[in-house]
Structure 1
Amino acid sequence: MNRFTTSAPADHTSAATPASSPPSEGLEASQVSPAGTPRRLLDRVRDAIRVRHYSIRTEDTYVDWARRFILFHGKRHPESMGAAEVEAFLTHLATERGVAAATQNQA
């Protein structure tokens, strides 16, 4: 379980997924909109933060850093990336952007 998933398991028995919605097939209930389409990653991040009752400023900051990370890597989805990409982003912040250590830790 990563830090963006809730601890309660999704209940897949209460609502059947229509056969006509293959884009949402295999996704948890929290990853699918009421219309049956997959929810955007940053919306799912916001949902996970709200479940934890973090402040709106914290939510905005987390979403902004996630967005910057995605844009830095050419809009690749974070699920296709790993530790090497995180390290590259943080190194870029420290060497190219010259951010403070606290900013790098926040990112």
Structure 2
Amino acid sequence: MTYSNSKPIKHPALLWSESDFQTHVLHLAKTYGYTLTYHTADSRRSNPGFPDLVLVHGKTGKLLFIELKTQVGRVSVHQESWINGLRIGGHVAEVWRPIDYVSGRIAKVLRGGAVVGRTL
């Protein structure tokens, strides 16, 4: 977004911490009917790389595995392995960043209309 004779303005969501981002994603998921959500409270006691969120839609049973990253966060080798392994198994597994929230892509995936399986 820009205004004439001014610098580009960044959307505030692009500056979210991963925790802030997760709060917004979980709220949106609940809005779209994802009644079962899981997030490992302490990833230090989990297998390396397992996605941040597991979301299950209350009526359709749609299952999503989501790794959340800040706008500049890097996907680790272990995270990439988990995402790819889940995709090979036929599951929806994605990496989401705040720009995906701003663009409406996350809402589209939660509604079921997005093509999944983008590259990491």
Question: Which TM-score applies when normalising by structure 1?
Answer: 0.32
Q: Between Structure 1 and Structure 2, which shows a larger proportion of strand residues?
A: 2
Larger radius of gyration: 1
Higher relative contact order (CA 8 A, sep 6+): 2
Question: Which TM-score applies when normalising by structure 2?
Answer: 0.29
